[in-house]
């Protein structure tokens, strides 16, 4: 067909589920991951000429992930493990110019039994995940590469029963929402932060685990203690504290959808459920407000 061209392409393996048990004597760790790998490079002929000679089969990619997981001591450190996966593909196949690797780490929390942490038993106490995306681009030879790393958390459901207000917003003829000085505030936190990395050899020096744990705690602490006038204001404060604490980060992005809980009208039943007497609410799944923002570090003036 004339007049068309292959503008861009990538392909790979998605939803690779992996569990690794790390044993140190009787003390076990469990790591559960979901992985996606997409490759870019000299694959145009497979689309335009039905020539499969350069295709790395996606089944091969799946097998490679399991083999690397067996051999790696960094499966629990998902940024490092994603880098190992990406480096394998760009160094093994000369026609692969870029490897995109996403990893989600699912939550397993060690059980507390009789006041002590159990050595091999775990529970899932939330559906929030830890995530990373690593992009390795080959500029020249296998060692001439650049790396981009984003990390974050997703689906961390939080709620507080007071300490949140929403008033002073623009009103016009379409506005029906009432102002409030006290409301339930709930959201499912998605946060992504971007690292400053000048050289791939430096990634081993970045305390990815500590940064993740700290940003997660900053998010929780700020949500709980900030006397919120809006989700926007609370979001900005979370990001500001994180960027001020970690110079390794260039920006942080939050997505905070409103999980609405509305006061139920009980006046018709002769019961007061307003003001200080409000204690019965009903959740509304949708439609929902969605507040997002990316807060970046100010570049120094030259």
- Report pLDDT digits (tens) over 20-59: 999 999 999 999 999 999 999 999 999 999 999 999 999 9
Count of domains for the chain: 2
Find all residues with CB under 8 Å of 173, minimum gap 6, and list them. none
pLDDT tens sequence across 143-163: 788 999 999 999 999 999 999
Helical segments of 1-137, H only:
44-48, 58-71, 78-92
CATH of the domain at 53: 3.10.270.10
User: Is residue 56 a contact partner of residue 10, using CB atoms and an 8 Å limit?
Assistant: no
Task: Give residue 142's pLDDT.
Answer: 63
Residue 302 has pLDDT above 50, yes or no: no
Helix (H, G, I), strand (E, B) or coil at 24: strand
- Nearest partner of 107 among 190, 206, 31, judged by Cα: 31
3-state DSSP assignment of residue 78: helix
In a domain, 2, yes or no: no
- Indicate whether 40 and 167 sit together in one domain: no
* Burial of residue 46, with CB atoms counted within 10 A of its CB: 0-12 exposed, 13-18 middle, 19 or more buried: middle
Question: What would the pLDDT profile of 205-257 be if each residue is shown by its tens digit?
Answer: 899 999 999 999 999 999 999 999 999 999 999 999 999 999 999 999 999 99
- Are 170 and 235 members of one domain? yes
- 169 and 230 both lie in a single domain: yes
Report the mean per-residue pLDDT for the chain: 94
**Where would I find the H helices in the chain?**
44-48, 58-71, 78-92, 208-225, 231-245
Element (H, E) at 39: strand 27-41
Residue 81 shares a structural domain with residue 217? no
Asked if the model's pLDDT at residue 133 lies above 90, the reply is yes
Buried (b) or exposed (e) across 106-128, using 16+ Cβ within 10 A?
bbbebeeeeeeeeeeeeeeeeeb
154 burial (CB, 10 Å; 0-12 / 13-18 / 19+) is: middle
Range of the domain at 178: 152-302
| Known binding-site residue numbers | 58-59, 166, 183, 231-232, 258
Active site residues: 13, 58, 260
Residues 100 and 51 in one domain: yes
Same domain flag for 34 and 162: no
Same domain (yes/no): 126, 193: no
Which residues lie closer than 8 Å to 222 by C-beta, 6 or more apart? 234, 237, 238, 241
Q: Specify whether the CB–CB gap between 179 and 164 falls below 8 A.
A: no
Binding site for 5-hydroxyisourate, by residue number, is 166, 183, 231-232, 258
Residues 267 and 194 in one domain: yes
pTM of the entire predicted model: 0.92
Shared domain for 133 and 214, answered yes or no, is no
Note whether 86 and 167 are same-domain residues.
no
Residue ranges for the known binding site for urate are 58-59, 166, 183, 231-232, 258
The verdict on residue 297 lying in a domain is yes
Q: Is the dihedral of CA 281, 284, 288, 293 positive or negative?
A: positive
């Amino acid at each position: 067909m004339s007049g068309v061209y292959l503008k861009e392409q990538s392909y790979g393996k998605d939803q690779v589920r992996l569990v690794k048990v790390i044993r140190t004597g009787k003390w076990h760790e469990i790591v559960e991951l979901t992985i996606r790998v997409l490759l870019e490079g000299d694959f145009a002929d497979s689309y335009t000429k039905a020539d499969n000679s350069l295709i790395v089969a996606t089944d091969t990619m799946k097998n490679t992930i399991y083999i690397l997981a067996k051999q790696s001591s960094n499966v629990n450190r998902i940024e490092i493990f994603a880098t190992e996966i990406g480096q394998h593909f760009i160094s093994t196949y000369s026609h692969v110019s870029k490897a995109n690797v996403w990893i989600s780490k699912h939550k397993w929390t060690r059980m507390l039994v009789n006041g002590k942490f159990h050595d091999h038993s775990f529970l899932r106490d939330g559906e929030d995940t830890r995530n990373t995306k690593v992009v390795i681009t080959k500029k020249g030879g296998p060692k001439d590469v650049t790396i981009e790393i984003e990390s974050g958390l997703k689906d961390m459901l939080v709620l507080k029963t007071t300490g949140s207000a929403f008033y002073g917003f623009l009103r016009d003829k379409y506005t029906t929402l009432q102002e409030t000085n006290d409301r339930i505030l709930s959201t499912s936190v998605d946060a992504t932060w971007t690292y400053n990395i000048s050289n791939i050899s430096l990634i081993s020096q970045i305390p990815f685990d500590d940064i993740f744990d700290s940003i997660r705690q900053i998010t929780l602490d700020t949500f709980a203690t900030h006397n919120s006038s809006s989700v926007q204001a609370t979001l900005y404060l979370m990001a500001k504290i994180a960027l001020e604490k970690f110079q390794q980060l260039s920006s942080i992005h939050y997505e905070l959808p409103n999980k609405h809980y509305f006061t139920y009208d009980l006046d018709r039943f002769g019961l007061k459920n307003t003001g200080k007497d409000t204690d019965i609410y009903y959740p509304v799944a949708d439609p929902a407000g969605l507040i997002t923002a990316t807060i970046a570090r100010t570049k120094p003036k030259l």
